[in-house]
Structure 1
Amino acid sequence: MLMNHEVQEQLWSSIQEAFKNVLVEDPRFEENELKRVFGIQSTNGANVHLAPGFGRGLGLYPIFALINHSCRCNTESLESRTDHLLVVQAKSNIKAGEEITTSYLRPDQATFTRRQFLYDKWRFWCACHRCADPTELGAFSAGILCNTETCDGILLPENPLDEHSSWSCNKCNNNISWEKISSLLQEAVQIVEKSENTSDSLETILFQLNKFLFHRHFMIIQVETKLFQQQVERYKNGQLKLTRPSLDRMVQLGLHILQQMELTDPGENSLKTMINEKLVAFRVERACQDFKAGIIKKEHLQKLLLLKQKTMPTNVRK
């Protein structure tokens, strides 16, 4: 029996209106039954990726819906682009008797945001091994710089399973209340929201955020990812000249994003594949410029060209 949590009233109200205006005339439909079905679908449904122009879809995969969530899961779900068949495959070796887990959300955010989202949508507070670890298994996605005069440590929650826990530095005795941390995070949100959607503006955001957020903080990674994708589009449209400084920046961004993604979501996914493909392409272009300038040897360029050939798109998506 699939679970049926309390439905979101805002979404249900629009369906309820459609029922009262149209479906009420059909004796096959009852309001209570429709609400129960909607609750099951909302609780257990998975996004279905339709072709451009066909809108958004939600599919119900009964066996997949029985897999529990973990913020550091051991499987990935792959959807066929043609028949929308869902395949669940292991991302790492799964021992006999070990629970098979999936992730109900994007794992790039910090513990306090993931846990709140999971509670709001599925009514449970996650206590997986990543959520229970203040460092998030070494990802430091919530890290805030201590910024005292003599300390370069990182502020982390003392008890990440308590949403109002105080935060302390991993190097000194500095202790900060959740209210103060919340204020710093709100400041970061305001910096991001007030910015313009240009490469220069995004670079300014990163400069400002890096003053008080750890460089692997999820908000910094999100802005870096947006900047990387934006620069890729500018290059495709002929708006970005691949100078050596711009290539260095793209390689720096790509490497930093991929390193953090490997900590928060080991294994393959569509975003990671795209970034890796573009990163290799930028590294090859930089190597070509270096080879023409006599900086590197032909063998080094050939290795990168072989690496580029191996980065091919797949016929499934996560």
Structure 2
Amino acid sequence: MITGQSIVDADAPREEWIAARSEGVTASEAHAIATGGRKAWVKILDDKLNGSTFRGNKHTRRGNEREAILVDFAATIDPSIEPNSALWADAHDARFRATPDGIGDDVVAEVKSHAHGHDLGMIPPEHRSQMQWQMLVTGASRALYVREVMDKDGQGPLTDPDWQWVERDEEHIAWLHDRALEFLAWWDADCPETDDLDTATESALARWIDAKRDLDPIAKIEKTAKTELTKLLKRRDHSKFGVQVQGASGGAMLTAASWNRVLDETKLTGAQKSKLQVLREQVDTAVTACEAYEEELRAQYGVDCPTGAQSLRLAGGAR
């Protein structure tokens, strides 16, 4: 159900729309705010208070030109979707704002047009956050994500755009919501340079930063020495089987190379080569068909899952 409120009409002057956007957190900012540190927050707030220096480029102009066409396509998937250029605010927190490209019955639409050569791949994290924020603001239960890649002549593609449904993710929304509240509280508090951390976190952070500061120069020296030694040991006869050395200061071992049995196709008969080629083509055709069908199914039934390991790194302020 759409519960958000339209606070700036579609036909309002652009200056009014920009001014209203600058008063809160918008969908296009939500991901940067959620993932960013102080440096990112300062840049975002500076753009709000003083105006962004970005005035658009050929890619943003193309996106604006193609938006109506892509929203029209979105309406063929869900006929309730209509173009939108009004600014919406969350019914519970008016500083949460968004301008979806399209709005329908319990649905929003976000459309993207990319330059020739762009690899669509997975939905970028910032686009995923943008749609989740739009669902938070409007109250929609799902978002229709539509995207295209222009042809090499800069014209719209002849095939239908790529599209998929993105379901409302309450955990993702809660993360964006909490980080947005932190950003707004930081703004309201005149932008303090540090967080109000609990004692345990502050202490652990300080110890890690101190240790990393001491270790980084040593790590660089170790990496350089290791590279030099590896090159020297690889120059030895039969090094692919491994090398062990022992010096006055200690020892080192260069592990053996990995081995794999490969096909020497120069030894195949003509008949064997032909049969192998036919089988490879059959496999390629089957894999292509399988991948296309899986992509078609993902557009309707796909679920979003986190992948990869998380890592800790230094952020702004650590010296």
Interval containing the TM-score (normalised by the shorter chain): under 0.3
Higher strand proportion (structure 1 or 2): 2
Q: Which structure: larger Rg?
A: 2
Structure 1-normalised TM-score? 0.24
TM-score (norm 2): 0.24
Tell me which of the two structures has the higher relative contact order, counting C-alpha pairs closer than 8 angstroms and 6 or more residues apart.
2
